[in-house]
Structure 1
């Protein structure tokens, strides 16, 4: 009887799920620490929720990014700067991500504005971006791509890696994310994160939106909703991943190849056409499976179970 009561209480407790889902095999913000991301399109504001589905018009322009200081103690008590990163792990195609990662945005020295009434504190640029924002624009024959936006604590020991100085507005592909995090001393665990899907398929309206678990016109095809996707072999030894062996599949050496596979001179537009849209189908997050979410929250569940057992 006491076990039944304890189990029922634990099932009712919210589970702390990492972002992005652990089974993606990429760096993840623990304890469901969300990064607040808001896009402006067609005169409307779109606040991104995990695994939302978008057409390419919605996330085309640089978003407003904020940390939810009122929700997470680890962020509320931090007074330093942040490094912001936006990457596409599915270029050029989710089934063949030979350009992983496409670097869509890299901004250092982001400072925190005063807390707003909604409990968030906007991240403000205090220097020019290392790599300017580039909206998603995967190939028109590609399934939706995932887009992950990270905020990392820019601690005092942060140094920009010399090996990554060549990444810029026209050189974005094959960004070795784990290696960059290691060499910059940012560490493999972000302060906060958010992700969504975007699609540029011809049948998908560019202003399309759907919540997690939604479906694009024509179906979601080969969109990746669980796991990192096909393995990518790096031409050099990748940095050791921080969370799981599957992270290695995401590491690739940086090159200046264009994102969409077209000429290097048009790499800005190429990367856009390559940075595939991973439609908001939070199906990817939810498809990450309830089993995975239960596993992620297992530490809290076990602790709660022990406490409840002691009480009964």
Structure 2
């Protein structure tokens, strides 16, 4: 199937196993008070922080398809992992519980975090990797799935697989319908990039619906060369899985916002997050949200149309940031 997709019933992901979690479509709103406070041009916000499943934010989107695949396989345990600040770990634990699956999370670093506490509360079993190297997580997940056999369904940290990316491809179609209804065309779509699945799915989905809008990916955890190659591969894999038009790599520009390190925002980013809280009541975490929004504020070349910032969520870490006090 190629070409623009507007009919949801005929969408290429309609035939995939899907476990419903999200309450959607998530709102697409303008942020006039934030525009005034920071001197921004027209700014739209896609509110995946209001996706309606726990505090899972945008991680809900890939999990609908990943959990669906696990159930279709007849798996009994969902195996994945991440670090202390992983929004995906908490979301995966809640989604697995809702689907009646056990959840095993392989985690690196100090497990004492709000996200991992929520994962434990949802019944997940935490398995420390014994180190602080993120790559050890995916290796350990793969080894555990091999050990458990067909009873386990495993995904790498962040759920970043071509199938996981389908969740955001469907999100792109959701966005396109909202833009059509509002008769608005953004000049740029900006979102944070961790393990790459969300932006890859967005690119595949934009190609599927025929929406040629520039995308700004704000890398928060990996060097640009590394994450760019992964995003391109995931986007191509997602499109191939769906049988839709191949995404155009030139549609994506990436910036490096790792700053002091993954999960640590700069003072400037924290000030921008505070403005978002004061002006619009938006909660931004220091792992993804503050960095991505700050990149929108700092755009040198403003596009002709509105900037659309995809607020991916991260509410639990945002509360932790607030408790630290003002920047």
Q: Same fold (TM over 0.5)?
A: no
Q: Which has the higher contact order (CA 8 A, sep 6+)?
A: 1
TM-score normalised per structure 1: 0.34
Greater strand share, 1 or 2?
A: 1
Greater CA radius of gyration, 1 or 2? 1
